[in-house]
């Protein structure tokens, strides 16, 4: 189904992009590899137009050709996009109840994010009902190297893959706590995964605090991350390392289990750390009078 037509539709529409996407949709609907002639007939395009489109899509990895380049099927790149979209929707649906509970128990905004290349992409923001609203909205992007959630989202990459991902990239400092080179970034990633959570006091911006934890799937891979974050004044400072950490880690554990993660099968639990566990209790600042 195509979207609503803007009054400047003829100016804004990119015909080549539209035809390329229609080629992918046609092959997907057919459910089998198709020849150039079949695609052309389905879309009322000339053979030469379809040849250029399929060549481009194959070059970019969105199509795969058979050995004789006579038929074309969907390639891994388009499938990855589709799987990532579906997985993201599943994660949002699964995580929302616990993000809302996390918001209600901590009185701080909670968030869900995934990694998109070198960036952290926010998929969900459950705003606090207090006056300390979050500025991390759905669609917000942050550099993964500078964000605690990004360190978790990078933690399943090998050191070589991390080096390749950031090759030629300048790690611009957002605060004095930002990793400035790959060695520092890799240390942050390793420490974060080992601890199972990150307590941030001004890591991303001065005057802001957060607690982050990873979400694991059934294979034990990090597929997303959650946090509670806001201005320092939104938190009970004395409980930052206890109450808030316990709540975020517990929420991450529950969500991971619903994503299929089994601590017994994988030999660990999201958020397990060598620290002494404390019974979660509401900070005095958040208790009812």
Tens of pLDDT along 151-178? 999 998 888 999 988 888 888 888 888 8
Lowest-pLDDT choice from 33-47, 157-171, 243-257, 260-274: 260-274
Lowest-pLDDT choice from 126-130, 148-152, 192-196: 126-130
Q: Are 253 and 275 in contact (CB under 8 A)?
A: no
The reply to whether 115 and 129 lie within a common domain is: yes
pLDDT digits (tens, 9 = 90+) for 213-238: 999 988 888 999 999 988 878 777 67
**What is the 8-class DSSP label of residue 229?**
E
Residues belonging to the chain: 289
pLDDT digits (tens, 9 = 90+) for 7-16: 787 888 899 9
Mean residue pLDDT of the chain comes to 82
Q: Assess if residue 57 is contained within a domain.
A: yes
The reply to whether 260 and 145 lie within a common domain is: yes
> Which phi-psi region, left, alpha or beta, contains residue 161 (left: φ > 0; alpha: ψ -120 to 50)?
alpha
The reply to whether 65 and 107 lie within a common domain is: no
The reply to whether 100 and 229 lie within a common domain is: yes
DSSP per-residue letters across 102-144: HHHHHSS-EEEEEEETTEEEEEEEE--SSS---S--TT-EEEG
Please list, in sequence order, all residues whose beta carbon lies within 8 angstroms of the beta carbon of residue 185, skipping any fewer than 6 positions away: 145, 151, 154, 162, 166, 171, 179
Which is more confidently placed, 77 or 222? 222
C-alpha 224, offset from chain centre? 5
pLDDT digits (tens, 9 = 90+) for 182-204: 999 999 999 998 999 998 888 88
The reply to whether 61 and 104 lie within a common domain is: no
Sign, Cα dihedral of 141, 157, 174, 197: positive
Give how many domains the chain has, as a whole number: 2
pTM: 0.62
Q: Assess if residue 222 is contained within a domain.
A: yes
Which is more confidently placed, 97 or 133? 97
The reply to whether 27 and 69 lie within a common domain is: yes
The reply to whether 151 and 169 lie within a common domain is: yes
Task: Among 74, 100, 129, give the residue marking a domain's end.
Answer: 74
Helices 76-106 and 245-258: angle between axes, nearest 10 degrees: 140
Residue 249: what pLDDT? 93
Residue 271 has pLDDT above 70, yes or no: no
Residue 283: what pLDDT? 42
DSSP per-residue letters across 37-69: HHHHHHHT--HHHHHHHHHHHHHTTSEEE-TTS
Residue 276 has pLDDT above 90, yes or no: no
Q: Assess if residue 193 is contained within a domain.
A: yes
Q: Are 214 and 272 in contact (CB under 8 A)?
A: no
Residue 234: what pLDDT? 76
Alpha-carbon distance values, 66 to 35, 73, 105 (Å) = 10, 8, 56
H helical segments located in the chain = 9-12, 15-30, 36-43, 47-59, 76-106, 148-153, 159-165, 182-195, 245-258, 263-266
The reply to whether 29 and 103 lie within a common domain is: no
Structural domain for 203, as ranges = 80-286
β partners of residue 225: 113, 214
Q: Are 124 and 112 in contact (CB under 8 A)?
A: yes
Task: Among 74, 89, 111, give the residue marking a domain's end.
Answer: 74
Residue 82: what pLDDT? 66
The reply to whether 44 and 163 lie within a common domain is: no
282 confidence band (pLDDT: 50, 70, 90): very low
Residue 5: what pLDDT? 66
Q: Assess if residue 100 is contained within a domain.
A: yes
280 confidence band (pLDDT: 50, 70, 90): very low
Q: Assess if residue 27 is contained within a domain.
A: yes
Q: Assess if residue 4 is contained within a domain.
A: no
Q: 119: which 2 tokens?
A: 């960036």
Q: Residue 249 in 3-state DSSP? A: helix
The reply to whether 40 and 88 lie within a common domain is: no
Mean pLDDT across 229-255: 84
Residue 2: what pLDDT? 54
Q: Residue 73 in 3-state DSSP? A: strand
Q: 124: which 2 tokens?
A: 């969900």
CATH number at residue 178: 3.30.450.40
Task: Among 74, 96, 115, give the residue marking a domain's end.
Answer: 74
Residue 134: what pLDDT? 65
Q: From the CB of residue 154, how many other CB atoms can be counted at a distance below 10 Å?
A: 25
Q: Assess if residue 131 is contained within a domain.
A: yes
The reply to whether 187 and 124 lie within a common domain is: yes
Residue 85: what pLDDT? 62
Please give the share of the chain, as a percent, with pLDDT higher than 90. Answer: 37
Q: Assess if residue 3 is contained within a domain.
A: no
The reply to whether 264 and 173 lie within a common domain is: yes
CATH number at residue 40: 1.10.10.10
Sign, Cα dihedral of 78, 62, 141, 114: positive
């Amino acid at each position: 189904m195509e979207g609503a037509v803007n009054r400047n539709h003829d100016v804004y529409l990119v015909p080549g992009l539209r035809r390329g996407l229609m080629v992918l949709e046609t092959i997907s609907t057919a459910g089998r590899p198709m020849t150039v002639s079949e695609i052309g007939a389905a879309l009322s395009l000339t053979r030469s137009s379809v040849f250029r489109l399929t060549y481009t899509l194959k070059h970019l990895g969105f199509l795969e050709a058979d050995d004789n380049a006579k038929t074309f099927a969907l390639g891994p790149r388009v499938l990855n996009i589709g799987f990532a979209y579906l997985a993201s929707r599943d994660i949002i649906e699964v995580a929302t109840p616990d993000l809302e509970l996390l918001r209600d128990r901590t009185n701080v905004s909670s968030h869900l994010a995934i990694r998109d290349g070198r960036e952290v992409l926010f998929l969900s923001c459950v705003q606090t009902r207090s006056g300390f609203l979050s500025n991390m909205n759905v669609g917000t992007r942050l550099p993964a190297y500078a964000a605690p959630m990004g360190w978790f989202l990078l933690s399943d990459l090998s050191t070589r893959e991390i080096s390749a991902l950031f090759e030629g990239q300048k790690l611009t400092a957002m605060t004095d706590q930002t990793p400035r080179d790959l060695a520092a970034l890799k240390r942050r990633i390793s420490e974060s995964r080992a601890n199972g959570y990150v307590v941030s006091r001004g890591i991303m911006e001065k005057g802001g605090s957060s607690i982050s934890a990873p979400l694991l799937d059934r294979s034990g891979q990090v597929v997303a991350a959650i946090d509670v974050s806001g201005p320092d004044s939104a938190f009970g400072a004395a409980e930052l390392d206890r109450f808030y950490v316990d709540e975020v880690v517990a929420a991450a554990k529950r969500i991971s289990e619903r994503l299929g993660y089994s601590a017994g099968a994988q030999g660990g639990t999201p958020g397990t750390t060598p620290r002494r566990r404390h019974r979660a209790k509401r900070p005095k600042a958040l208790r009812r009078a």
